[in-house]
Amino acid sequence: MAKFGKIETLEIIRRSGIVPVYYNADIQTCKNVVKACWSGGIRAFEFTNRGDGAFRIFEALIPFVREECPGMALGAGTILDAPTAAMYIGAGADFIVSPCTSAEVARLCNRRCVPYCPGCGTVTEIVNALELGCDLIKIFPAGTVGGPAFVRNVLAPLPKLMLMATGAVEPTRENLSAWAASGVTAVGMGSKLFPKAAMEQGDWAAVSALCRSSLEWFGKA
């Protein structure tokens, strides 16, 4: 299966609502985690560019996801510069995510027709990202900058924004309901979606179940 187009990728993220954020140095663990998320209904996954060998792991994940997880968009996160973004896009990344906003990454992604989700923590940063051509903007660190209340206040004057909150997102009914009610398009969720006990025991069914419950809580709200 070929990589998704820009509009198709954004729609996958919007429909999924929850984007797991993950890195592990072991390729088999990464495959197990991605497949568990897919089995739980997740259709967008961010593999972060952290640690030695991250790119090599991503290269191995791309064909696995295309074959074993149909309909899933696989993005690359923690991308800080255009050369790194170009590597991941060349390897097949469906979207690019940063903890900050990089004009050079935005320009590259625009040329390649790949969604770029930059990290922003103020209204000025958000508007600047819009002017760089970013469609989906990451609120980060979402809990620190004001949580769901920040999102509601931003969307009041800018109701057409597509925002993805990352940071202080937890797989509980109360937390996900609050984020969904704020008006976010999606949320990014890291380690709390992968409980330590389940990971140590290789209980991938438990990870799938938590993904399934999280999607239900977010969707209902």
Catalytic residues: 46, 138
Pairwise CA distance, residues 61 & 91, whole Å: 10
- C-alpha neighbours within 13 Å on the C-beta side of residue 186: 27
133 conformational bin, left if phi > 0, alpha if psi -120 to 50, beta if neither:
left
Q: How far is CA 112 from CA 8, 82, 83, 123, 185, in A?
A: 14, 12, 13, 27, 23
Nearest Cα to 19, choosing from 27, 28, 10, 6? 10
Pairwise CA distance, residues 75 & 3, whole Å: 10
Nearest Cα to 134, choosing from 158, 91, 105? 105
